[in-house]
Amino acid sequence: MRLSQDQIDALTEVVNIGVGRAAGSLCSLIDRHIELHVPQVELVPANEMNARASSHKSTLDTSVIQDFDGVVNGRAVLAFPRASGVLLAQILGEMEEEQDELDLDLAGVLEEVGNIVLNGVLGTMANLFKGEFLYTVPRLESDMDALHLVLEHSSARESAEPAILVADAHFSVAESDICGSLLLAFSLDDMAERLEALLESVA
């Protein structure tokens, strides 16, 4: 099955609301203005994503991962190219010395950024879907392709028809524009049911 255009638009709006809340939380945490935008959202069936991952290696090799269960089950990943992830962590951690790799301190900062962004999106989803999520503790993975990380979760749930939402994520902070991706893996059936209920509630 596929989501209708209205359902895709509703899911896009849910993600944008969550990202907006996450940006506000990040600003409050570090007392610095941060803009976080998701200009484009794409819904990709897992089999198409698998072909995409097999045909080329993505540059998204530094990721914060959080699994969730509840009204919708899935995996959320905030992923960056290594250099972008390091730069974002340096800026937000107010670390002056430039680095090429994630040390323990930078990894901790990036993990917290992922925690805030993923919880902003998943928390908004839970609120709007009038349900609850149980979350795993966010964890940082480096040197692993983010596309394979979400596909790994999808393949473990063979009974559900999986899909992956791919959203560009642009962080603007300290005159730097840092790009990454927000990836959400979930069952199409579960998501369609919740989105339809959401659309009916606002009709």
Mean pLDDT of all residues in 56-79: 89
Residues in the chain: 203
Q: What is the CA radius of gyration of the chain?
A: 16
| pLDDT at residue number 68 | 94
Q: Identify the weakest region by mean pLDDT among 43-47, 104-108, 145-149, 154-158.
A: 154-158
129: exposed, middle or buried (Cβ count in 10 Å: 0-12, 13-18, 19+)? buried
**Whole-angstrom Cα distance, residue 171 to residue 69?**
28
| pTM, two decimal places | 0.90
pLDDT in tens, 164-180: 999 988 988 877 889 89
Helices and strands (H and E) in the chain: how many? 6, 8
DSSP H or E segment with residue 36 = strand 35-37
pLDDT in tens, 108-155: 999 999 999 999 999 999 999 998 889 999 999 988 888 888 888 766
Domains of the chain: 5-202 (3.40.1550.10)
